[in-house]
Structure 1
Amino acid sequence: MRNSKIFRALKISLCLLVIFSLSACDAIKRDVTVIKLGHGLDTSHPVHEAMLYMGERAKEKSNGSIEIDIYPNQQLGSERESLELLQIGSLGMTKVSTGVLENFIPSLKVFGLPFLFRDREHRFKVLESELGEKLLNDGLGKRLKGLTFYDAGSRSFYGKEPMESPEDLEGLKLRVMESNTAMNMVKMLGGSPTPIAWGELYTALQQGIVDGAENNLPSFYLSRHYEVCKYYMVDEHTALPDELLISTMVWDKLSEEEKVWLKEAAMESSEYEKKLWREAELEALEEIQKAGVKVTYPDKEDFREMVQPMYEEFSKDPEMKKIIEAIQAVK
C-alpha cells in the first residue's frame, strides 16, 4: 500500500513537471488565455472530437483570446490524477466519467444506479434540465466546476465466454471503474468486481487477470477489446455520462465574458457530440460483428430485479432519495 502511494505521488509529480514545462511555452501569449485540457481517451473517440470542436468554438467566440490545448491518451495523467491536478490548479480542464467522479462528488453516484433512465430521450432531458445543471455545480466545494455532460451511451457486459443472462456473470472477475456503485452492482449480479485502469485492461484481459468487463460499444470497439472478448451482452445496465470540468482556480480568473464564451462552447460541443456518438455506436456494432463477436440481447427485467436492493440502499440517504425521485419525475 505504501509503495502504491509513493508510486502515485511520483507519477503526479511527473505530470506536474510536464505541465509546468508546457506553461513556460505559453508565457509569450500575454493576450491569450491558454487552458490545458488533459484526458484519457483516444483521438478517434467521439468525446475527444467534441472537445476539439469546443476549443474551436471558444476560440471563435473570443476572437482568439481563449485557446484550449488538448492532451489525450493520459499524457497528463489518469482520470483520478487529472482531477487531483484540477483541484490544485495545475491543470485547467479534464473529462472524466461520472463513475470515477463520484469519489470526489458523492451526489454523482446516482448515475451508477442500474436502469436509472427510462430511455435515451429521458437521459438527455435529465442532463439538460435544471437538475442536471445543479449536479454540474455540485463539485464547486471541491474546486471542480462542471461545464457540460457528454453522452457516453449505455454500458453492457462483455467477456471471453458466452453471455446471455445474469447467470452467465456468476463467479466471473469483471473489470469495473474505481466506483463503489459499480462494484456493488457487479456483486449483486454474482460477479467479482476488479478495479483496473482503462489503459491496462487490454493486457489484463489477455493475461486472464479478469474474465471480462463492462463498457459502451464505441469504447469496446476502439480499445480493440473485441480481439480478446468475443461475447458482448447488450443489457445496458447503466448510462454513465462523461463530464467536462474546469478547475475553479482557473474559472475564477476568467472574465464574465470569457465564462459565457466557454460555457456556450462547451454546451454546443455536447450537442455536436450526440450525433458523433450515435454514429460511433452504429459503426462499432457493425464492426465488432464483422470481427466475429456474438452480440446478445438478454431480458433486462432479470437484471432489474437483482439490483433493486441498490435503490433501497440509496433511498436511505434523504438527499439521494430526493435526486432519484427528481430524475424519475422528468417527463
Structure 2
Amino acid sequence: MKIGKRITALLLAAAIGIVAVGCNKVDGAEKKVKVVRVAHGQNEEHPQHKAMLEFEKYVEEKTNGEIDVQIFPNELLGATSQAVELSQTGAVDLVIAGLGTLEAFNECYTVFNLPYIMDSTEHYHAVMNDEDIMSSVYESTRQSGFVGLTWFDAGVRNIYTTKKAIMEPDDLKGLKIRVQTSPTNVKMLQALGASPTPMSFGEVYTGLQQNVIDGAENNELALINNKHGEVAKHYSYNMHAMLPDILIASTDLLDNKLTEEQAKIVMEAASYANKFEVDLWEDAAAEAKEKAEAMGVQFYYPDIKPFQDKMKNLHAEYTKDENMKAVYDKIREKGDEILAKNASVESEQE
C-alpha cells in the first residue's frame, strides 16, 4: 500500500469518525445508515479477513442495512497500534489487534503473551472459550476506550530466519529478530540471546530482504500471505507462543453510537466470526506450510525444552503482580485440568 494512500485513509478516518450517517432509500423511503469501519493488518486471503467479511454480512443482514460495515485490511488505516489509538477516540470502530499491542493498555493481556504458558492447542482453545477467564480480560481496557469482543486464532508462533535453522537457543545469539511492540516479546528474545527488533508487521518483508533483521517470529501464514518465505528459508518449530488476536470495539460505538439492539447484533456477529475463523485456521496453516515448502522453505523441529527452560525467570517476574498472577493461575489451572482429563482417558484405554 502506498504511503500517500495510507496517510490519506488515516486522516479521513480521524476526521470524519467511525460512524458516518448517510441515507439509503428502502421501499421509497429514506433511512439513515451508520457506517462502521474495521481495521486489521492482514491481507484479503487471510482467515481473519474472510471472517470479517462474514461479520459484515451478518451485521448488514440482521440490521436490514441500517449499518454499513467497511473493512480496511493491510494496515490501510495505519499500523495496528495506530488503529487501536484511533479506536480510543471513536475514529476507528473495530480493530483486530495482537496481544503485543494490547498489553500496553492492561497487564491482563501480558499474561497470554508469556512464552510457553499454553501446553497445547487444546489448552489454548479451552482458555480462550472460557468466559470465566476472558470476560474480565475483555473488560479490562474499558477505561482506555475499547473492549474485547472475541478472539481469532493466530496459530502457533515460531521463529524463522534468513540465515540458518534455529535448533537451540544458542543459535539465536547475535541475530536481529523482529518482534511485536511488546515488552514481553522483547524480554523473551533477550532471554534466548537474540537481539529483539520491534517493527510494524507491514515492514517485515522489506526488513528481511534488506538484512535490517535476520528473522521474525510468526505462524506459517506469514510465509505465504505476506511473502516472508521468499526471503526467509528456515522455519523452526520452537513453539514459543499460542497467541490469539483480539477483535476490539470502541466503547463509544457500543455505548453511544449504536442502539441497544444494534450493539447486540454486532456482538453476535463477533461470536459468529470467531467460529468461522477458527474453523478456517487449521486448514489455512497446513496449506501455507505446503506452499512454503514448494518455494524452498525448510521446516525444522527442535527440542523445545531448552527454550522453555530459558523462560522460567520471565514467568516468575510477571507473576509478582497480583492481577497478573490471578489470570496466570486460571490459565494454568485449565491446563492442569486438561492434562488430568487426558491422562484419565489414556489410563482407561490401556
CA distance in 1, matches of 2:10, 2:200: 17
Shift of 1:84: 0.9
Judged with a 3 Å threshold, the aligned counterparts in structure 2 of structure 1 residues 24 and 147 are, in CA distance, closer, same or farther, namely: closer
Q: How many equivalent residue pairs? A: 321
Question: Given the alignment, which residue of 281, 301, 312 partners 1:277?
Answer: 281
In the alignment, which residue of structure 2 is the partner of 1:168? 171
Q: Deviations over 1:94-143 (max 9, x none)?
A: 11111211112221011111111111111111111121122111110101
Q: Percent identity?
A: 36
CA distance in 2, matches of 1:232, 1:38: 29
8 Å contact from structure 1 (residues 99, 178) kept in 2: yes
Let me know the Cα RMSD of the aligned residues. 1.8
TM-score scaled by structure 1?
A: 0.92
- Greater displacement, 57-66 / 77-86: 57-66
Judged with a 3 Å threshold, the aligned counterparts in structure 2 of structure 1 residues 24 and 182 are, in CA distance, closer, same or farther, namely: closer
In the alignment, which residue of structure 1 is the partner of 2:145? 143
TM-score scaled by structure 2?
A: 0.87
Question: Given the alignment, which residue of 301, 308, 333 partners 1:304?
Answer: 308
- Greater displacement, 78-87 / 125-134: 125-134
Q: Deviations over 1:26-67 (max 9, x none)?
A: 433553232111222111111011011111111222232222
Write out the 4+ residue segments of structure 1 that deviate beyond 4 Å after TM superposition: 11-14, 21-26
Judged with a 3 Å threshold, the aligned counterparts in structure 2 of structure 1 residues 21 and 137 are, in CA distance, closer, same or farther, namely: closer
Give SS of 1:86's match.
helix
Residue identity matched to 2:328: I
In the alignment, which residue of structure 2 is the partner of 1:194? 197
CA distance in 2, matches of 1:118, 1:139: 27
Residue identity matched to 1:118: D
In the alignment, which residue of structure 1 is the partner of 2:43? 42
Question: Given the alignment, which residue of 23, 27, 31 partners 1:28?
Answer: 23
CA distance in 2, matches of 1:142, 1:24: 19
In the alignment, which residue of structure 1 is the partner of 2:62? 61
8 Å contact from structure 1 (residues 104, 142) kept in 2: yes
In the alignment, which residue of structure 2 is the partner of 1:206? 209
- Greater displacement, 103-112 / 44-53: 103-112
Residue identity matched to 1:173: K
Q: Deviations over 1:196-247 (max 9, x none)?
A: 1111111111111111110011122211111111100011101121111111
Give SS of 2:104's match.
coil
Q: Does 1:255 align with 2:250?
A: no
8 Å contact from structure 1 (residues 35, 92) kept in 2: yes
Shift of 1:22: 8.5
Judged with a 3 Å threshold, the aligned counterparts in structure 2 of structure 1 residues 316 and 72 are, in CA distance, closer, same or farther, namely: same
In the alignment, which residue of structure 1 is the partner of 2:180? 177
CA distance in 1, matches of 2:33, 2:82: 26
Judged with a 3 Å threshold, the aligned counterparts in structure 2 of structure 1 residues 275 and 14 are, in CA distance, closer, same or farther, namely: closer
Q: Deviations over 1:242-270 (max 9, x none)?
A: 11111111111222211221111101110
In the alignment, which residue of structure 2 is the partner of 1:102? 103
Judged with a 3 Å threshold, the aligned counterparts in structure 2 of structure 1 residues 188 and 268 are, in CA distance, closer, same or farther, namely: same
8 Å contact from structure 2 (residues 87, 93) kept in 1: yes
Judged with a 3 Å threshold, the aligned counterparts in structure 2 of structure 1 residues 268 and 24 are, in CA distance, closer, same or farther, namely: closer
In the alignment, which residue of structure 2 is the partner of 1:15? 10
Judged with a 3 Å threshold, the aligned counterparts in structure 2 of structure 1 residues 23 and 241 are, in CA distance, closer, same or farther, namely: closer
Judged with a 3 Å threshold, the aligned counterparts in structure 2 of structure 1 residues 271 and 24 are, in CA distance, closer, same or farther, namely: closer
CA distance in 2, matches of 1:16, 1:133: 33
The structure richer in strand per residue is 2
CA distance in 1, matches of 2:35, 2:246: 20
8 Å contact from structure 2 (residues 21, 34) kept in 1: no
Unaligned runs of 5+ in 1: 1-10
Larger radius of gyration: 2
